[in-house]
Homo-oligomer: A and B are copies of this chain.
Amino acid sequence: MKIETLTVIGLGLMGGSVAMAARKRALANRVIGVDRQREALNFSIQTGIIDEGFLEPSEAIEASDLVVVCTPVDQIAADVVTAASLCQPGTLLTDVGSTKLGIIKAVENALPADTLFVGGHPLAGSEKSGATNSRPDLFEGRLVILVSTAKTTSAALDRITEFWVSLGANVEVMEPEAHDRAVAWTSHLPHMVASALSAVLPRGLEAMCATGFRDTTRIASGDPLTWSPILLENRKPILDSLSQLDECLSSIRQALMRADRRSLDALLTQGKEVRDALGD
């Protein structure tokens, strides 16, 4: 795959890493960045993450072959629609939002059916945010979910698949509802729990937090500006998963209150089997 001009909208960790990965793998001749924050633009130009930077998409989109929208999930749909209104026919559009159903619906309602948009979500990231933490290898060996709807053309899906594979990722196609239900369990519920574990830690115990606490709460360092919109956008599946976690914690509580070793063993064993199967 070879792209003449790649435009990345939103130069945070994800956008910066898309730009760096495309450059490292010589996938794009020119990488243009769009960000409302001049600081992110200046940093990205000075460090060579992008070739050119703009505060507004208007100047950045026209010559683009592929536009990747990497803004917070509550801004993605509007940014895709704006980009679509500015680009030439044939320009591909995609995003990296952690939720898909709301974005897809909003985009498909606002745009004609022949718009070449495919929603995506790379299952890669870090608790460290911002372009300064971008990494060209962020997507290597990682799974990228692309979502398919009745309006998705196979040509667009193939091209976006090729794009992510060129950046070293593996691609799987899902329906948006199934994606959102899955990430409620695999990403959003753990995020809430990590935040809660950190938030309730009594002051003065910091020095006693060893690797176990640190691992379990690492993602609580994620940027609330990224995460609040994700949790709100996907709140129905998240509330379902939270109810089931509550039930499980309640079983553990009961086992502790009754000093019921057998039930506690069974619960811990079940958790261990699931986690062991994931590997390191």
Contact = CB atoms under 8 A, between A and B. Distances in A.
A193 B278 contact: no
Contacts of A100: none
B220 A275 contact: yes
Interface in A169-218: 172, 182-183, 185-187, 189-202, 205-218
A123 interface: yes
A81 B265 CA distance: 27
A213 B219 CA distance: 9
B201 A274 contact: yes
B186 A220 contact: no
Interface stretch (A11-19, A22-30, A61-69, A255-263): A255-263
B220 A274 contact: yes
A219 B212 contact: yes
Contacts of A145: 208
A249 to B, nearest CB: 5
Interface centre among A142, A199, A276 (most CB of B within 10 A): A199
A224 B264 CA distance: 8
> How many copies altogether?
2
Contacts of A222: 268, 272
Given A194-B271, A216-B217, A224-B269, 14 more contacts: A143-B207, A185-B205, A186-B208, A187-B212, A191-B212, A194-B216, A198-B271, A200-B245, A217-B271, A228-B261, A228-B265, A231-B256, A235-B257, A235-B259
B265 A224 contact: yes
Contacts of A242: 249, 252-253
A186 B213 CA distance: 6
Contact of A195 (B190, B192, B217, B271): B271
A210 B275 contact: no
Nearest to A190: B216
A46 interface: no
A210 B249 contact: no
